[in-house]
Amino acid sequence: MIQRIQTVYLTLVALITGLAINYLSLWTVGDKVLYYKDEILFLVPALLSSVLALLTIFLYKNRQNQFVSVRLLLLINLILLGLLLYRLLNLPGEPSGTEKGIGLLVPIVSIVLLFLANRAIRKDEELVKSVDRLR
């Protein structure tokens, strides 16, 4: 049952988060561009989110474990979003200014996709329970 819609959502989370580590900038201060890989505080939750999303795909045989794993991923992405917002609010204001990068949206997109995956897993579980009642 790996061809379920939650597999698509979890694959997108893993791809987006994995690509964001090296290629999507968080912000620019002066001439310095900051990526996820530049600070360990952002790198660890992003890597953890990407790897756990890939591992969660293969828990399709045990939907309860997959459900719990997606909840853990939601928590990790909320923590990452909180860290990014805290750091963004404490950036120094310079005359040259700071530019926000597209990498700040990665945890938000991941949270939405994980919410959709969680809902799909729950629907699958309800469907299996309803079929078991008919037997």
Q: How many beta carbons lie within 10 A of that of residue 3, not counting itself? A: 7
Q: 100 forms bridges with which residues in the sheet?
A: 27
Beta carbons within 8 Å of 84's beta carbon, 6+ residues apart: 26, 42, 104, 107
Beta carbons within 8 Å of 8's beta carbon, 6+ residues apart: none
Along the 135 residues of the chain, how does pLDDT read in single tens digits?
Answer: 567 888 999 999 999 999 998 888 888 877 788 888 888 998 999 999 999 999 999 888 888 899 899 999 999 999 999 998 898 887 766 656 677 788 889 999 999 999 999 999 888 888 888 877 666
pTM: 0.87
The domain ranges of the chain are 5-127
Residues 8, 105, 56, 128, Cα dihedral to 10°:
-60
CA 2 from chain centre, in angstroms, equals 20
